[in-house]
Amino acid sequence: MPANKKYLTTSILQRCLKITAGFFGGYGVMISFFLFLTYIFDKKNVLMTGVIMGYILWAVLLLVAFLSKSGWKIWAIYIVLILLFSLPHLLNR
């Protein structure tokens, strides 16, 4: 059963923004989230959790990017999350 055409993104720019936000932005959020967890928990335990849960979190963030209406909005959300999770690391320097 093919997808309904009214739900598909027609703009090539929006499609590219969603793909790059899901791939690169999702990866950045995942890395910065586990970097943030190293300030709360033991680094060894976070590393083992990150190896297992990192790909699942990245896949979920990739799907969330495609569910959003605007590629610009999801990029803005992912950049804010990356900065928020990286804040303790940036302030510690």
Sequence-distant (6+) residues with CB within 8 A of 18 are: 9, 65, 66, 68, 71, 74
**pLDDT digits 0-9 by tens, 57-81:** 999 999 999 898 899 999 999 999 9
Q: How many angstroms separate the CA atoms of 86 and 93, rounded?
A: 11
What is the Cα–Cα distance from 24 to 26, expressed in whole angstroms? 6
pTM of the model: 0.85
**CA geometry: angle at 15 spanning 13 and 20, to 5°?**
95
Q: What is the average pLDDT score of the chain?
A: 90
CA 13 to CA 87: how far, in whole Å? 30
